[in-house]
């Protein structure tokens, strides 16, 4: 007789395995402890075989019969349902391994060691927030350009056009990696060039007029916060390194007797040398008395960690500056680049090397930490002297070249 829901539900353990048979080869197997499994017995190629149809009560009687019927349909086509299940399972595993998310995370794992942590976090954040929820589970080879465009449109619709362009770029990198590793035929994101409106790039807020720089410097000197942040504010315009490199500076990187700071550039992972002006050395010696026994030049509240990434901008806001329109910690770089070239007449290549930018020369050298070092030593001292004169209220007009 065919099984019933009540009969299945009331099947009790007897201390040994037994079976309750349904129709067309299906039966319920009840273990000695009461576990219940649906089975389907069939013959294929002259051999008797069994196929699991699921566990009761997760799979009810009706669903178990539906699974049995699907298996019988395969048998009618001369397909072994047990082999077919293994094939489908392998395909599912392969699809999961070749999904957009799996490929993207593999690409990221290979690339991230060469990136700054902040840069890596931004890329993974974009993928996790804006791409994976919609494309992550799809086999990367099956994704079409309109699907990627839909992802980009969602980002654009919330007013983040620049982010949409960056998402497009990251998707392209993932697709090209998939092509290189044999999991996609082509980078379909390339079909979307021009699909988004051009992004309007904005630069970090900065002050580049000498009179305004003078007011800024006097305000920095008057900051009433902690001595550590005071020193960071005094050094930021003198050194004009990236804010993250300043706040994570370690005492072991400095040779104050030689007036040098050597560190690895966070963005390019290249070694960099910053010549220190006498003013910078004086500030660092003052600070060394307080933090010199610590790892970080600018320790945070937890002295085992560096100062917060928001500390400089927070201090600027406390002094009344708008960090969106007037000045940011990163804006000191633009300030130095502009005035060093336009007012102090230093050559662009000398300035760019001091900024640790990759600027290829005629020989193809992208960056060398000691290139133009003599000129850079002169430049950094003249820059510090120039700022001192500005702060003192002098009308400074410099027309000499770096070597004049």
Catalytic residue among 267, 288, 371, 389: 267
Catalytic residue among 49, 357, 382, 389: 357
Count, residues in the chain: 404
Residue 139 bridge partners (DSSP): 99
Residue 310 in contact with residue 298, Cβ under 8 Å? Answer: no
Please give the Cα distance from 141 to 271 (Å, whole number). 40
Three-class SS state of 395: coil
Three-class SS state of 62: helix
Please give the Cα distance from 138 to 148 (Å, whole number). 11
Catalytic residue among 56, 177, 296, 367: 367
Is 138 exposed, middle or buried, given 0-12, 13-18 or 19+ CB atoms closer than 10 A?
middle
- Please report which helix (H) or strand (E) contains residue 271, including its range: strand 271-275
Please give the Cα distance from 246 to 287 (Å, whole number). 14
Q: Is 357 a catalytic residue?
A: yes
Is 299 exposed, middle or buried, given 0-12, 13-18 or 19+ CB atoms closer than 10 A?
middle
> DSSP of 322-376, one letter per residue?
-TTTT--TTHHHHHHHHHHHHTS---HHHHHHHTT-----TT-----TTTTHHHH
Residue 18 bridge partners (DSSP): 30
Q: Is 353 a catalytic residue?
A: no
Q: Is 367 a catalytic residue?
A: yes
Residue 200 in contact with residue 270, Cβ under 8 Å? Answer: no
Block residue for tokens 């009540």: 6
Catalytic residue among 330, 337, 353, 376: 330
Catalytic residue among 242, 247, 272, 337: 242
Name the residue among 249, 155, 164 with its Cα closest to residue 200.
Answer: 164
> DSSP of 2-47, one letter per residue?
---HHHHHT----SS-EEEE-STTEEEEE-TTS-EEEEEEEEETTE
Catalytic residue among 39, 65, 234, 333: 333
Q: Is 267 a catalytic residue?
A: yes
Contacts 24+ apart (CB under 8 A), 256-264: 256/281, 256/284, 256/285, 256/288, 262/369
Please give the Cα distance from 149 to 347 (Å, whole number). 44
Residues forming the active site:
242, 267, 330, 333, 357, 367
């Amino acid at each position: 007789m065919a099984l019933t829901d009540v009969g299945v539900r009331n099947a009790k353990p007897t201390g040994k395995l037994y079976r309750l048979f349904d129709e067309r080869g299906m039966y319920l197997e009840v273990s000695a402890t009461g576990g219940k499994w649906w089975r389907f017995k069939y013959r294929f190629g002259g051999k008797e075989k069994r196929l699991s149809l699921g566990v009761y009560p997760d799979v009810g009687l009706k669903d178990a019969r539906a699974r049995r019927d699907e298996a019988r349909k395969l048998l009618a086509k001369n397909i072994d349902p047990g082999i077919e299940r293994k094939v489908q399972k392998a395909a599912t595993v392969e699809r999961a391994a070749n999904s957009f998310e799996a490929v993207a995370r593999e690409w990221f794992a290979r690339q991230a060691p060469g990136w700054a942590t902040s840069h890596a976090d931004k890329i993974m954040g974009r993928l996790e927030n804006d791409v994976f929820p919609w494309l992550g589970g799809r086999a990367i080879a099956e994704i079409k350009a309109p699907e990627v465009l839909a992802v980009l449109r969602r980002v654009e619709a919330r007013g983040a056009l620049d982010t949409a362009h960056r998402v497009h770029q990251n998707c392209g990198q993932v697709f090209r990696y998939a092509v290189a590793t044999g999991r996609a035929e082509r980078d379909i994101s390339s079909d979307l060039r021009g699909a988004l409106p051009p992004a309007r790039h904005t630069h970090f807020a900065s002050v580049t007029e000498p009179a305004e720089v003078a007011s800024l410097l006097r305000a920095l000197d008057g900051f009433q916060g902690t001595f550590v942040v005071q020193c960071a504010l005094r050094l930021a315009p003198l050194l004009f390194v990236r804010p993250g490199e300043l706040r994570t500076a370690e005492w072991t990187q400095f040779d104050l007797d030689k007036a040098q700071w050597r560190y690895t550039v966070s963005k390019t992972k290249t070694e960099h040398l910053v010549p220190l002006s006498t003013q910078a050395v004086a500030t660092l010696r003052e600070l060394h008395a307080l933090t010199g026994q610590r790892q970080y030049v600018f320790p945070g509240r937890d002295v085992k960690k560096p100062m917060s990434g928001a500390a400089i901008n927070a201090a600027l806001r406390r002094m009344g500056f708008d960090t969106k329109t007037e000045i940011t910690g990163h804006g000191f770089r633009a300030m130095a680049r502009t005035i060093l070239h336009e007012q102090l007449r230093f050559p662009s290549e000398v300035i760019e090397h001091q900024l640790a930018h990759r600027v290829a020369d005629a020989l193809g050298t992208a960056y060398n930490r000691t290139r133009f070092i003599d000129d850079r030593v002169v430049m950094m001292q003249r820059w510090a002297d120039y700022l001192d004169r500005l702060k003192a209220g002098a009308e400074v007009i410099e027309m000499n070249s770096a070597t004049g």
